[in-house]
Amino acid sequence: MDYSFTCDNFEPDQILFCGQAFRFREEEGVYHGIVGDRYLTLTKEQGRITIHDIEEEDIPFWNNYFDMDTDYKALIERFSADKHLKEACKEKSGIRILRQSPFEALISFIISQNNNIKRISGIIERLCEMYGEKKDFGYLFPTEERLYGVTAEELAPLRAGFRAKYIADAMSRLQSGEIVLSDIYDMDYERAKEQLKKIKGVGEKVADCVLLFGYYKTEALPKDVWIKRVIAEFYPDGLPECIKGYEGIAQQYLFDYARRKIGDGNG
Partner DNA sequence: ACCCAGGGTAACT
Partner DNA sequence: AGTTACCATGGG
Compose the 172-211 pattern: x for residues touching DNA by CB under 7 A, - for all others: -------------------------x-xxxxxxxxx-x--
Strand ranges (E), 7-47: 24-27, 30-35, 38-45
Sole binder of DNA in the list 159, 191, 244, 260 (CB under 7 A):
159
Sole binder of DNA in the list 112, 121, 195, 218 (CB under 7 A):
112
b/e per residue 154-173 (b: at least 16 CB within 10 A)? ebeebebeebbbbbbbbbbb
205 is catalytic: yes
- Kind plus residue range of the DSSP H or E element containing 138: strand 138-139
CB 127 within 8 A of CB 158: yes
Residue 157 touching DNA (CB under 7 A): no
Q: How far is the CB of 2 from DNA (least distance, A)?
A: 29
Coil vs helix vs strand at 198: coil
Nearer to DNA, 146 or 200 (CB): 200
The one catalytic residue among 86, 205, 228, 244: 205
Q: How far is the CB of 136 from DNA (least distance, A)?
A: 28
Sole binder of DNA in the list 15, 16, 18, 230 (CB under 7 A):
18
- Kind plus residue range of the DSSP H or E element containing 50: strand 48-51
Sole binder of DNA in the list 141, 251, 253, 257 (CB under 7 A):
251
User: How far, in Å, CA of 124 to CA of 141, rounded?
Assistant: 8
Query: Of 3-11, 40-48, 99-107, 152-160, which part binds DNA (CB under 7 A)?
Result: 152-160
Coil vs helix vs strand at 35: strand
Q: How far is the CB of 247 from DNA (least distance, A)?
A: 11
Q: How far is the CB of 84 from DNA (least distance, A)?
A: 16
Query: Of 2-10, 13-21, 46-54, 179-187, which part binds DNA (CB under 7 A)?
Result: 13-21
Query: Of 72-80, 130-138, 173-181, 224-232, which part binds DNA (CB under 7 A)?
Result: 224-232
The half-sphere exposure of 224 on its side-chain side, counting CA atoms within 13 A, is 19
Sole binder of DNA in the list 36, 149, 161, 245 (CB under 7 A):
161
User: How far, in Å, CA of 260 to CA of 86, rounded?
Assistant: 15
76: left (phi over 0), alpha (psi -120 to 50) or beta: alpha
Strand partners, 17: none
Question: Could you list the residues that contact DNA (CB under 7 A)?
Answer: 18-20, 112-119, 156, 159-162, 165, 197, 199-207, 209, 222, 224-227, 251-252, 255, 267
Active site positions, annotated: 205
